[in-house]
Structure formats: C-alpha cells, structure tokens
Amino acid sequence: MFDPLQYEFFVRGLIVATLVGALCGLIGVYIVLRRMAYIGHGLSHAVFGGAVVSYVIDLNFFIGASVWGFLSAMLINLTTRKRSIGADAAIGIITTASFALGIALISRTKTATRSFDAALFGNILGVEQSDMYAIAAVTLATFATVIIGYKYLLFTTFEPDVAGFYGVPTGWIDALFALILAATIVVSIQVLGVTMIASAIVIPPVVARLLTNDFGKMMGLSVLIGAFCGLGGIYLSYFVNAASGATVVLFSAALFVVALAYNTARDRIAVMRGKARLHAGSVIAADDSHIGD
C-alpha cells in the first residue's frame, strides 16, 4: 500500500498533483459558473503555442507561456464582448490558431518534438524541484487573489453586466482573472498535459455544484475534490500502471459519476417524500371530511 512512497520522485509527484488539483478546482468554480468550461481546454492549447514560441526565441518557458496565455485570455474576453460572437466561438478561433502556430513551429524544429510530447500528455513523474516551487508560488498567489477579491469575483461571475453598475471594476477583474487562469494552466501543463487540463478545471466544481447550492461551500468543496482527485489519481496510477494524467482524469470522472448518482437519488427521494406528504395530507383531509357527517 505504501510502497510508492519510498520513491522521492513519486512523493514529489503526489504533492504537485494535489496542489494542481486544488488550484484547478479553485479556478474551475469561476470557469464553470461563467459557462466557459471550454476555455480550460482551449487556453491550454493556446499556452502550448506560447510554449513553443518561447522555446524558438529562447525565452523562459514560464514567462513566455504565461504572457501568451494571458494575452489569449484577454483576446477571448474582448472578442466575447462583441455580442455577435459567442464565448465558445471566440475560444475556438483564438486558441486553435495559437495551438496551430505551435504545431507549425514544431514541424520546422524537429528536435523539439519529444519535450513537447510531455507538454501535450503530461509527465508528472518528471516534475523537477523548480517546477514544484513554481506550482506552489502560483497556488499561493491564486488563493490569496481569490480570497482578497472574493466579493468582486462573485458579483462579476454572477452578473457581469450589473456588477459594473454597482462599482465593480469589471475590466480589471477580468484582466486579473485572465492572468491567474493563464498562470494556473502554465504550471498545470507539466503535470496533466494540454489534453487533460480541461477535466481538472471542470470536474471538481461540477461535482461540488451537485453537492451544494452555496457559492462559498462550492469553492471549498471544489478545492478539496480537486486535491483529492490529484492525490488519488496519481496514487492509483502506480498500482494500475497507467499514465498519470489519464488516471487523474479517470479518477475524477468516476467521482463525478458517483456524485451524479447521489444527486439524482437525493432528488428522487425528495420527490417521493413530497408525494408521500401530499398523500398523507389528502388522507387526513378525507378523514376530516367525515367530521361534519
């Protein structure tokens, strides 16, 4: 049971996956509630383009990819404000173009192919100490930002148009959110890979939403579920001998199925109880109707 813990690289992988899970779970709440679930998937592809460009122009990966991701997120926000273009279409166009740019550059730089495989599919067990520090720093900064900006983020997510009338600087909030989202995706790529990030961002908040109607509780639950999925998925990957990123996603998906089943059962029981109460009421009413006889 505790065999994998004797390997230092595995313990590091566990810590990193837990942090990334919690981080994606936190950010994911806003993504899911803004009905922009596709942005996690899209932006990770856009960041991939940024990563390749950074490599080609010999720029630090974290800086290059973060700036690229931030600009892509802002561009999506700006495009979405044009009412004739929906968020889904804006994400599709901008992120795919960025991803395509990355692929085009790779095809011209054949030697880079192997390391970019890791970016596409994740390589959690190859995470280095410096990656761990970067993930920890982004996690801390994101949690601090979300706690400080809690009420602004809540209003902007709930009613983006109305929040501005009440004095919320929505433009700045959107920019700040784009920045932390880009940073989250950049540090998560190493762990989960471009192709798997979307699930880490979407599944924990969706599971949390199935369990609560309260925004604060949803955030707390989503963070815990994300961390649990990261930890559980990586741990499981050792025993099933499968790719770490894929195992995390499958573990999360299984948890979603359980939560959905619980939510459905809870709703059905509530309906049955309601019917039973109505039935009991009509029986009492029928009994009462004899009183005057």
Partner 1 sequence: MLHPSPHQYEHHEPVVELRSVTCGYGGVAVVEHADLKIARGDFVGLLGPSGSGKTTLLKSILGAADVYEGEVLVNGRSIKDKRPTIGYVPQLETIDWEFPVTVEQVVMMGLIRKNHFFPWFRQEERDHAYSIMERLGIAEFGKRHIRQLSGGQQQRAFLARALVSDPSLLLLDEPTSGVDIKTRDEVMHLLDELNHQDITILLTTHEINAVAAHLPWVVCMNGRIVAEGPPSDVFTPEVLKETYNAEIHITEYQGMKLVAESPHYFGRNDRQNHEHETVAGD
CB of 143 to partner 1, least distance (A): 12
| Residue 276 DSSP code | H
Residue 8 structure tokens:
């230092």
Nearest approach, Cβ of 273 to partner 1 (angstroms)?
Answer: 16
8 Å CB contact between 249 and 200: yes
Q: Per CB under 8 A, does 185 bind partner 1?
A: no
> CA 218 → CA 149, 183, 222, distances in Å?
16, 22, 6
Taking the complex as a whole, the smallest distance from the CB of residue 80 to partner 1 amounts, in Å, to 14
Out of 4, 12, 15, 33, which residue is the one contacting partner 1 (CB under 8 A)?
33
Q: Is 209 in the site for partner 1 (CB under 8 A)?
A: yes
What minimum distance in Å lies between the beta carbon of 215 and partner 1? Answer: 5
When asked if residue 150 is in the footprint of partner 1 (CB under 8 A), the reply is yes
Cβ(47)–Cβ(182) below 8 Å: yes
State the minimum distance, in angstroms, from the CB of residue 161 to partner 1.
7
Burial of 279 (0-12, 13-18, 19+ CB in 10 A): exposed
The yes or no reply on residue 65 touching partner 1 (CB under 8 A) is: no
d(CA 74, CA 127): 29
Residue 152 lies near partner 1 (rule: CB under 8 A): yes
Side chain identity, residue 237: S
Which positions ≥6 away from 266 have C-beta within 8 Å?
none
Give the residue with the Cβ less far from partner 1, 217 or 268: 217
Does 155 contact partner 1 by CB under 8 A?
yes
Site for partner 1 in 210-269 (CB under 8 A): 212-215, 218
Binding region for partner 1 (CB under 8 A) out of 39-47, 62-70, 154-162, 230-238: 154-162
**How many positions of this chain bind partner 1 (CB under 8 A)?**
26
85 secondary structure, DSSP code: S
Per CB under 8 A, the segment of 68-76, 100-108, 190-198, 205-213 that binds partner 1 is: 205-213
How would DSSP label each residue in 197-226?
A: HHHHHHHHHHHHHHH-S-HHHHHHHHHHHH
Q: Return residues touching partner 1 (CB under 8 A).
A: 33, 147-152, 154-155, 157-159, 161-168, 209, 212-215, 218
